[in-house]
Structure 1
Amino acid sequence: MTTPLTLTPGRRPDGTALLTVSGEIDMSNSDAFAEALAKALDATAEPLVLDLSAVEYLDSAGLTVLFNHADRIELIAAPLLIPVLTVSGLSEITRVQGTDGPAAG
Protein backbone atom coordinates (compact mmCIF):
# COMPACT_ATOMS: atom_id res chain seq x y z
CA MET A 1 0.00 0.00 0.00
CA THR A 2 1.34 3.41 -0.99
CA THR A 3 1.45 6.10 1.67
CA PRO A 4 -0.48 9.26 0.66
CA LEU A 5 1.77 12.00 -0.70
CA THR A 6 0.83 15.23 -2.47
CA LEU A 7 3.36 16.91 -4.78
CA THR A 8 2.48 20.37 -6.09
CA PRO A 9 4.84 22.21 -8.45
CA GLY A 10 4.71 25.97 -8.68
CA ARG A 11 6.65 29.20 -8.35
CA ARG A 12 7.30 31.56 -5.48
CA PRO A 13 6.30 35.23 -5.90
CA ASP A 14 9.91 36.02 -6.91
CA GLY A 15 9.74 33.40 -9.70
CA THR A 16 11.83 30.74 -7.95
CA ALA A 17 10.76 27.17 -8.79
CA LEU A 18 8.93 25.49 -5.93
CA LEU A 19 7.78 21.96 -5.18
CA THR A 20 5.42 21.72 -2.22
CA VAL A 21 5.19 18.31 -0.59
CA SER A 22 2.65 17.14 1.97
CA GLY A 23 2.02 13.81 3.64
CA GLU A 24 4.63 11.16 4.36
CA ILE A 25 7.70 10.28 2.30
CA ASP A 26 8.67 6.63 2.66
CA MET A 27 9.75 3.57 0.70
CA SER A 28 6.25 3.12 -0.76
CA ASN A 29 6.22 6.49 -2.53
CA SER A 30 9.88 7.52 -2.81
CA ASP A 31 9.92 6.70 -6.55
CA ALA A 32 7.00 9.08 -7.19
CA PHE A 33 8.75 11.69 -5.03
CA ALA A 34 12.00 11.24 -6.98
CA GLU A 35 10.18 11.54 -10.32
CA ALA A 36 8.35 14.73 -9.30
CA LEU A 37 11.56 16.24 -7.94
CA ALA A 38 13.51 15.38 -11.11
CA LYS A 39 10.76 16.86 -13.29
CA ALA A 40 10.71 20.08 -11.23
CA LEU A 41 14.51 20.32 -11.42
CA ASP A 42 14.44 19.77 -15.19
CA ALA A 43 12.14 22.78 -15.50
CA THR A 44 14.63 25.23 -13.93
CA ALA A 45 18.32 26.08 -14.10
CA GLU A 46 18.18 27.69 -10.68
CA PRO A 47 18.01 25.94 -7.31
CA LEU A 48 14.59 24.50 -6.52
CA VAL A 49 12.88 25.32 -3.25
CA LEU A 50 11.42 22.15 -1.80
CA ASP A 51 8.74 22.98 0.77
CA LEU A 52 8.53 20.07 3.20
CA SER A 53 6.69 22.05 5.88
CA ALA A 54 3.62 19.78 5.57
CA VAL A 55 5.61 16.53 5.56
CA GLU A 56 4.80 14.50 8.67
CA TYR A 57 7.27 11.65 8.16
CA LEU A 58 10.49 11.18 6.20
CA ASP A 59 12.35 7.86 6.14
CA SER A 60 15.72 6.84 4.70
CA ALA A 61 14.25 6.32 1.21
CA GLY A 62 13.10 9.95 1.19
CA LEU A 63 16.44 11.13 2.57
CA THR A 64 18.21 9.28 -0.24
CA VAL A 65 16.17 11.18 -2.82
CA LEU A 66 17.07 14.47 -1.12
CA PHE A 67 20.77 13.59 -0.94
CA ASN A 68 20.77 12.71 -4.65
CA HIS A 69 19.73 16.29 -5.47
CA ALA A 70 21.27 18.21 -2.55
CA ASP A 71 23.36 20.38 -4.87
CA ARG A 72 20.24 21.79 -6.58
CA ILE A 73 17.66 22.10 -3.79
CA GLU A 74 16.91 24.35 -0.84
CA LEU A 75 14.61 22.99 1.85
CA ILE A 76 11.88 24.50 3.99
CA ALA A 77 11.04 22.13 6.82
CA ALA A 78 8.74 21.98 9.83
CA PRO A 79 10.39 21.70 13.26
CA LEU A 80 9.58 17.97 13.27
CA LEU A 81 11.95 17.32 10.33
CA ILE A 82 14.83 19.63 11.32
CA PRO A 83 16.49 17.02 13.60
CA VAL A 84 16.26 14.35 10.87
CA LEU A 85 17.84 16.69 8.32
CA THR A 86 20.54 17.68 10.79
CA VAL A 87 21.47 14.20 12.08
CA SER A 88 21.54 12.82 8.53
CA GLY A 89 24.04 15.53 7.53
CA LEU A 90 21.78 16.91 4.80
CA SER A 91 21.65 20.32 6.47
CA GLU A 92 25.42 20.57 6.03
CA ILE A 93 25.32 20.20 2.25
CA THR A 94 22.15 22.08 1.34
CA ARG A 95 20.32 25.09 2.73
CA VAL A 96 17.64 24.19 5.27
CA GLN A 97 15.21 26.79 6.51
CA GLY A 98 12.71 26.18 9.27
CA THR A 99 9.17 27.38 8.84
CA ASP A 100 10.03 30.19 11.24
CA GLY A 101 13.41 31.10 9.72
CA PRO A 102 16.87 29.57 9.18
CA ALA A 103 17.39 26.25 10.93
CA ALA A 104 20.20 25.87 13.41
CA GLY A 105 22.88 23.40 12.49
Structure 2
Amino acid sequence: MHGPWFVLSIIAMSMAAWVINNWIRAWHGYSISDDWGRNIDKGDAGANRNIALLSSDNERLTGQVSRLEERIAVLERIATDPATRTAREIDALRDR
Protein backbone atom coordinates (compact mmCIF):
# COMPACT_ATOMS: atom_id res chain seq x y z
CA MET A 1 0.00 0.00 0.00
CA HIS A 2 1.30 3.40 -0.93
CA GLY A 3 0.41 6.92 -0.12
CA PRO A 4 -3.00 7.92 1.19
CA TRP A 5 -4.40 4.36 1.29
CA PHE A 6 -2.00 3.49 4.09
CA VAL A 7 -3.02 6.55 6.12
CA LEU A 8 -6.72 5.94 5.46
CA SER A 9 -6.44 2.31 6.53
CA ILE A 10 -4.81 3.34 9.82
CA ILE A 11 -7.58 5.88 10.43
CA ALA A 12 -10.25 3.29 9.63
CA MET A 13 -8.68 0.73 11.98
CA SER A 14 -8.47 3.33 14.77
CA MET A 15 -12.12 4.29 14.35
CA ALA A 16 -13.22 0.65 14.27
CA ALA A 17 -11.23 -0.07 17.45
CA TRP A 18 -12.84 2.92 19.18
CA VAL A 19 -16.34 1.77 18.19
CA ILE A 20 -15.67 -1.80 19.35
CA ASN A 21 -14.14 -0.54 22.62
CA ASN A 22 -17.19 1.62 23.40
CA TRP A 23 -19.58 -1.17 22.42
CA ILE A 24 -17.85 -3.56 24.84
CA ARG A 25 -17.83 -0.93 27.60
CA ALA A 26 -21.54 -0.21 27.10
CA TRP A 27 -22.35 -3.93 26.99
CA HIS A 28 -20.69 -4.46 30.38
CA GLY A 29 -22.26 -1.36 31.95
CA TYR A 30 -19.27 0.98 31.96
CA SER A 31 -19.54 4.58 30.87
CA ILE A 32 -18.78 5.37 27.26
CA SER A 33 -15.68 7.45 26.45
CA ASP A 34 -15.12 10.10 23.81
CA ASP A 35 -12.22 10.34 21.32
CA TRP A 36 -9.72 11.34 24.01
CA GLY A 37 -10.69 8.69 26.56
CA ARG A 38 -12.78 10.97 28.78
CA ASN A 39 -15.94 9.41 30.15
CA ILE A 40 -19.22 10.71 28.86
CA ASP A 41 -21.48 10.75 31.92
CA LYS A 42 -25.18 10.17 31.55
CA GLY A 43 -25.73 12.51 34.47
CA ASP A 44 -26.39 11.98 38.16
CA ALA A 45 -30.08 11.28 37.57
CA GLY A 46 -29.30 8.17 35.56
CA ALA A 47 -26.75 6.93 38.08
CA ASN A 48 -29.09 7.59 41.02
CA ARG A 49 -31.91 5.79 39.24
CA ASN A 50 -29.68 2.78 38.59
CA ILE A 51 -28.59 2.72 42.23
CA ALA A 52 -32.21 2.89 43.40
CA LEU A 53 -33.24 0.09 41.05
CA LEU A 54 -30.33 -2.10 42.12
CA SER A 55 -31.05 -1.43 45.81
CA SER A 56 -34.71 -2.39 45.49
CA ASP A 57 -33.81 -5.47 43.48
CA ASN A 58 -31.21 -6.41 46.10
CA GLU A 59 -33.79 -6.10 48.91
CA ARG A 60 -36.28 -8.23 46.97
CA LEU A 61 -33.69 -10.93 46.30
CA THR A 62 -32.49 -10.90 49.91
CA GLY A 63 -36.06 -11.49 51.10
CA GLN A 64 -36.53 -14.25 48.58
CA VAL A 65 -33.31 -15.98 49.68
CA SER A 66 -34.43 -15.75 53.32
CA ARG A 67 -37.77 -17.38 52.53
CA LEU A 68 -36.07 -20.13 50.54
CA GLU A 69 -33.63 -20.78 53.40
CA GLU A 70 -36.58 -21.18 55.78
CA ARG A 71 -38.28 -23.61 53.41
CA ILE A 72 -35.08 -25.63 52.99
CA ALA A 73 -34.69 -25.81 56.77
CA VAL A 74 -38.23 -27.20 57.08
CA LEU A 75 -37.61 -29.73 54.32
CA GLU A 76 -34.34 -30.83 55.96
CA ARG A 77 -36.14 -31.24 59.28
CA ILE A 78 -38.87 -33.31 57.63
CA ALA A 79 -36.32 -35.47 55.84
CA THR A 80 -34.18 -36.13 58.93
CA ASP A 81 -36.83 -36.43 61.68
CA PRO A 82 -38.35 -39.78 62.51
CA ALA A 83 -41.63 -40.52 60.75
CA THR A 84 -43.60 -40.86 63.99
CA ARG A 85 -42.64 -37.39 65.16
CA THR A 86 -43.57 -35.86 61.79
CA ALA A 87 -46.92 -37.71 61.87
CA ARG A 88 -47.63 -36.39 65.40
CA GLU A 89 -46.89 -32.80 64.31
CA ILE A 90 -49.17 -33.14 61.27
CA ASP A 91 -51.97 -34.54 63.45
CA ALA A 92 -51.47 -31.68 65.92
CA LEU A 93 -51.87 -29.19 63.07
CA ARG A 94 -55.07 -30.91 61.92
CA ASP A 95 -56.56 -30.74 65.41
CA ARG A 96 -56.23 -26.96 65.63
Q: Same fold per TM (> 0.5)?
A: no
TM-score normalised by L of structure 2: 0.25
Larger Rg over CA atoms: 2
Report the TM-score when normalising by structure 1. Answer: 0.23
More strand by share: 1
Decide which structure has greater helix share: 2
**Higher relative contact order at CA 8 Å, sep ≥6: structure 1 or structure 2?**
1
